[in-house]
Structure 1
């Protein structure tokens, strides 16, 4: 199952951990500066995706002379780059009005003192730590020496499914919100008919796919906790729960909860009104 072509370059990988950490710190530092100028901290949502692209680029460069498999390195750079740039671009486009996201307004309203310092300790530092931990899958994969096998190509297929769900789900939601007649209603068509969160499901599938690409070569399988953390955040902590709490008061949302799968896409269930 696992391709072990040569000894994993532990020394070079250890140095890359430092370079990647500095890359994450640089992205968040620049983002914090932009947030101070624009007076809105929701810009970190763009930096979240870009942080992974930076880690992938740093790790790709650092692994060039480490004897790692060139095919896996190029594949990871492509997959992370396409996913990260698309997501960052979409989030940036969605926030083009320059207003602060209600989620951050609610969080920063609890600040006991400086809102900027509170944002730094409660938003930037935790997200930086999570970003670095999740990116360990990418970092290890960039230094793996085994050649691409069937598990890696299965990972590419899962990644494609995830990117499709995320991209189409985002496009359908954007089109829905662009229609003034839909204001205050619930999107329950398209992919949103099969899962209440096609974008979050797609994101999770992307990271499962990336993990499979890396797990194909030892010691990539040891990074299993990285995608697990991402999925837990999306489905159980900051993604799905916060979105549903914000949507709970909308007319028709209770019926939507009854009929539509919470995360994994499934056929719609009949509502209690139909029974």
Structure 2
């Protein structure tokens, strides 16, 4: 493992999130934080894969996938930030922090830099795999990545189209993938990070660190900064309409729709 390279990437990620903090303070638009984070993870992953000593063809596949993920997600969040208001999740945090918001946001973004490093580490371990390429696990990894990238992109397009319909500000999205998961974009985002342990699978003891990436992403999306604050916002803005959606549709993993009479506790 190239500790010097990883240390350099960790420092760069910290600096990137410091820059994101500065942009947020100057513009008041927290969406730029996630935009910068997406591009920072992508650049960190590309750099890590470029200088890893794994099989060349696997490194090319890794670089292609992480670059595609970063460009799509960063552009999507950036376009949404330009055309919309403040991200309700960050707005709630800043409101709750009060006068201490500036320094607490700075610390929060440095924690995001740490999370970004764990994700980049998984990309590095995938690219550092010296096993012959391709193997069955490589084909599966590519398939998982393609499904995840495509599914998340389609989910974002479906939601964007719904938001342009009359009455969208008081209704909930139940079209396409959104009929079977309340957050299909989050599900596909998590699924994409499941590809890296498949790429990294080898006899190296370090390869077993790569599952930390999907585990971390699941925890963040489902329990911390993804679903909980977003659903709290949706309950405030949509009320009983969103409560009905919580009863009918799974929160994260896509699945069959439930009858309205089912209890919400059975859905998670």
The aligned counterpart of 2:120 is 135
1:51 matches 2:40:
yes
The CA deviation at 1:201 is 0.3
Contact 1:155–1:212 at 8 Å: present in 2 too? yes
The aligned counterpart of 2:250 is 261
Pick from 2, 17, 27 the counterpart of residue 6 of structure 2: 17
The CA deviation at 1:180 is 3.5
Which runs of 4 or more aligned residues in structure 1 lie more than 6 Å from their structure 2 counterparts after TM superposition?
none
* Alignment RMSD (CA, Å): 1.9
Structure 1, unpaired ranges of 5+: 1-9
Pick from 228, 232, 236 the counterpart of residue 219 of structure 2: 232
CA distance in 2, matches of 1:19, 1:205: 28
The aligned counterpart of 1:40 is 29
The aligned counterpart of 2:17 is 28
1:93-126 deviation per Cα after TM superposition (whole angstroms, max 9, x unaligned): 01114643222222112335353222101x2111
The CA deviation at 1:136 is 1.3
The CA deviation at 1:73 is 1.0
1:12-37 deviation per Cα after TM superposition (whole angstroms, max 9, x unaligned): x1111112112212322332232233
Range moving further from structure 2, 251-260 or 197-206: 251-260
C-alpha change, 1:22 and 1:186, in structure 2 (3 Å) is same
1:151 matches 2:137:
yes
SS at match of 2:256: coil
1:170 matches 2:159:
no
Bigger relative contact order, structure 1 or 2 (CA pairs below 8 A, ≥6 apart): 1
CA distance in 2, matches of 1:99, 1:192: 23
CA distance in 2, matches of 1:114, 1:271: 43
CA distance in 2, matches of 1:216, 1:265: 31
The CA deviation at 1:199 is 0.2
CA distance in 1, matches of 2:180, 2:84: 32
| TM-score (norm: length of structure 1) | 0.87
1:271 matches 2:260:
yes
| TM-score (norm: length of structure 2) | 0.89
Contact 1:24–1:128 at 8 Å: present in 2 too? yes
Structure 2, unpaired ranges of 5+: 263-268
Pick from 164, 186, 200 the counterpart of residue 214 of structure 1: 200
The aligned counterpart of 1:80 is 66
SS at match of 1:182: coil
Q: How many residues align?
A: 258
The aligned counterpart of 1:244 is 231
C-alpha change, 1:248 and 1:216, in structure 2 (3 Å) is farther
Contact 1:166–1:199 at 8 Å: present in 2 too? yes
